[in-house]
Chains A and B, each alone.
Chain A
Amino acid sequence: MQWVDTVIQGVLLGGLYALFATGLSLIFGVMRLVNIAHGDLIVVASFAALAVAEGFGMHPLITLLAVVPLMFGLGYVLQRGILNLTLGKDILPPLLVTFGLSIIIQNGLLEVFTADSQKLKAGAIETMSLQIFGGISVGVLPVITFVAAVLVIAGLQLLFFRTMLGSAFRATSDDPDTARLMGIDNRHVFALAMAVSLAVVALAGVLLGVRTNFDPSIGPGRLLYAFEAVIIGGLGSLWGTLAGGVILGVAQSIGARIDPGLQILAGHIAFLIILIVRPRGLFPRAVD
C-alpha cells in the first residue's frame, strides 16, 4: 500500500511539473522558440503573487486574479517588443536572448526581493487532506494542482482545435510565411501565444510558491523539469506534456521512497531511459 501511496503522490506532483512544462511546450509548438527564461518567469510569477498577497493582504490563490492577467500582458509585450525580433531561420538568437533574459530576471529579482527564501502562505488549505481508499490520504493542494493541470491542458486543446485563434496558431506553426499570405499577422499571433504561455506560467508560479519555498535562483531548476516533461511527452504534444510531468513526478516520488537523496536523480534517470527507448518522446507529433 505504501507504494500505491508513493505513486499517487508522484502523479499529483506530476501535475505541477506539467504546469511548468505546458507553456514551454506551447511556445515551442507554435514558433519553435526554446524559452530559456521559462523557469525564471515561473519564479517571477511566484514573486508577483508574493508582492500582491503581502501588499493587499490577499490569499495567495486569490492573487491569481491579478497575476494571471499581469503575466498574460507581460507575455504579449515581451514577444512583441523583444522575442519577435529574434525569430528567423537561425535558432541561435532566441536561445541567446532568452538566456540573457534569464540572467537579467534572476538578478532583477535578487535586487528587489533579496536572496531570502520565500513562501506563499495559504493557511489551512496547505495542510488539508482527503482520505481516499485504503487509508491513503492526499493533500488538497496537490489535488487542486493536478486538476488545474488537466483543465489547463484540456482548455488549450479546445483553444487549438476548436477556435480560429487555434487555427491561426497551428497554421503559423506549420508555415509562418504562408500564414502571412493568408492574412494572419504573425507578430500578433506569436505575441498571443506567449501571452497564453505566461498565463499558464502564472498559475504554475503561484502553485509552486504555495507548495514549496522559492528564491530568485530556482528558475533554471524548474526549467529543467519542464524540459524533461516536454521531451518525455514528445515535442509539441500537450497531453504528452501532462504524461511527461506525471512520469517525472512518479519517478521522483519512487526515488525519494527508496532513499530521500535519490529523488532528483531518479527523475533524471527516468528521463534518460525514455530518451534512449523513445528518442522522440512518448507522443511525438505525426507531422514535423
Chain B
Amino acid sequence: MAELLRLDGASKLFGSLVVIDDLSMHLDEGEALGVIGPNGAGKTTLFNLISGGLKPNAGTVRFGGRDITAVSPHRRCKMGIGRSYQIPHPFEGMTVFENLLVGACFGTDRAEKQCYEPCAQILEQTGLIAKANRLAGSLTLLERKRLELARALASGPRVLLLDEIAGGLTEAECSELVETIREIRTTGMSIIWIEHIVHALVSVVDRLMVINFGRLIEDGDPHAVMKSPMVQEIYMGISAE
C-alpha cells in the first residue's frame, strides 16, 4: 500500500517541556491506526502537528509524498487532512447543515451548490439528518461528537483524525458511534484515532500505536500491542487508577 502520511524525527517543545520527543510514524493509504497513551502523553499534540495547528521544533511532516511541515492548517485541510476535536468545537451560531457546508465548500474548493448533495449524504451517514436545521449550539454531546465527525468528513479528507470521539459518551452511545466509524471505514477512508476506550478502538483499527512522554513505545497488531508487558505496565497501570 502507498504511504499517505509520515512523521520523521518530530519534536515539539512547550517552553522547556518536551511534549513530542523525536517521534517517527507513518500511515498507509486506507489504513486505520489507533493511538493510545496516558493523559499528557502528547497524543493531541501529535494531531496538532499533523493538522498544522502547531509546527514541530524539529523533524518533518510528509503527506502524500510532499513535505508539509511549513504548510498552513487551511491548506492542509484542502490537501485532505480532516480533523475532529476531543472537545467538540461546532460553529455554534450556525445550523448543523451550515457547519458541514463550510467544511465542504472551503475544504474542497467546490461551489456551494455542488456541496449540498454530499453534505446531505454525510448527515444521513452520521445520523444527523433530522437535526440538519438545528443550531449547532443546541446539540447534545453525542450529537456534537457526530457533528465533529460529519464536518471533518465534509471537508473531503484523505485521512480522518479522530480525537477521543467516543470520550464522555455512554456505553450505548459509544457503540453507536463505533458502528458509524466502521461504516466510514468500509469506504476505504484512512483513519488515525486517539481513544481511551480501548475495546472500541481495537474493534476498528488495523494497527495500534502507544505513546508515552511523547515517545513511541509500541507499534503493531492491536491485540499483540495490548498484551505487551510495557503497555500493561504503563497504560493499564495508569488507567486503573
Using a CB–CB cutoff of 8 Å, the interface residues on chain A facing chain B are: 164, 167-168, 170-171, 173-175, 177-186, 285-287
Contacts and interface: CB of A to CB of B under 8 A. Distances in A.
Given A180-B73, A287-B137, A164 B112 contact: yes
B102 A181 contact: no
Nearest to B154: A182
A284 B103 CA distance: 27
A171 B73 contact: no
B57 interface: no
Interface residues on B, range: 20 to 34
Given A164-B101, A177-B53, A183 B107 contact: yes
Contacts of B52: 180
Nearest to A288: B93
B74 interface: yes
14 contacts: A164-B105, A167-B102, A167-B105, A171-B99, A174-B92, A177-B89, A180-B72, A181-B53, A183-B103, A184-B102, A185-B74, A285-B93, A287-B92, A287-B93
A180 B74 contact: yes
B126 interface: no
Interface string B53-91: 100000000000000000011100110000101000101
Given A164-B105, A171-B102, A183 B77 contact: yes
Nearest to A175: B89
A103 to B, nearest CB: 33
Interface in B169-185: none
Given A164-B101, A180-B72, A170 B77 contact: no
Interface of B: 51-53, 72-74, 77-78, 83, 85, 89, 91-94, 98-99, 101-103, 105-109, 112, 135, 137, 151, 155
A182 B53 contact: no
B17 to A, nearest CB: 19
Q: State the main secondary structure of chain B at its contact with A.
A: helix
Given A168-B106, A179-B102, A180-B77, 8 more contacts: A164-B102, A164-B105, A170-B91, A170-B98, A171-B94, A180-B53, A183-B108, A183-B109
B94 A185 contact: no
A183 B93 contact: no
B107 A182 contact: yes
B105 A186 contact: no
Q: State the main secondary structure of chain A at its contact with B.
A: helix
B203 to A, nearest CB: 27
Nearest to B107: A183
Given A164-B112, A167-B98, A168-B102, A182 B93 contact: no
Contacts of A168: 102, 106
- Among A183, A184, A186, A287, max chain B CB count under 10 A is at A183
Nearest to B89: A178
A182 B94 contact: no
The 6 closest A-B CB pairs, nearest first, are: A183-B106, A183-B107, A183-B77, A174-B91, A180-B73, A178-B89
A186 B77 CA distance: 13
Contacts of A174: 91-94
Contacts of A167: 94, 98, 101-102, 105
Contacts of A182: 74, 77, 102-103, 106-107, 151, 155
Contacts of B103: 182-183
A183 B51 contact: no
- Among A168, A170, A171, A175, max chain B CB count under 10 A is at A171
Contact of A181 (B83, B98, B105, B135): B83
B40 to A, nearest CB: 21
Contacts of A185: 72, 74
A178 B89 CA distance: 7
A178 to B, nearest CB: 4
A171 B91 contact: yes
Contacts of B112: 164
A170 B74 contact: no
Contacts of A175: 89, 91
- Among B94, B106, B109, max chain A CB count under 10 A is at B106
A170 B93 contact: yes
A246 to B, nearest CB: 25
A184 B94 contact: no
Contacts of B98: 167, 170
A171 B94 CA distance: 8
A171 B74 CA distance: 13
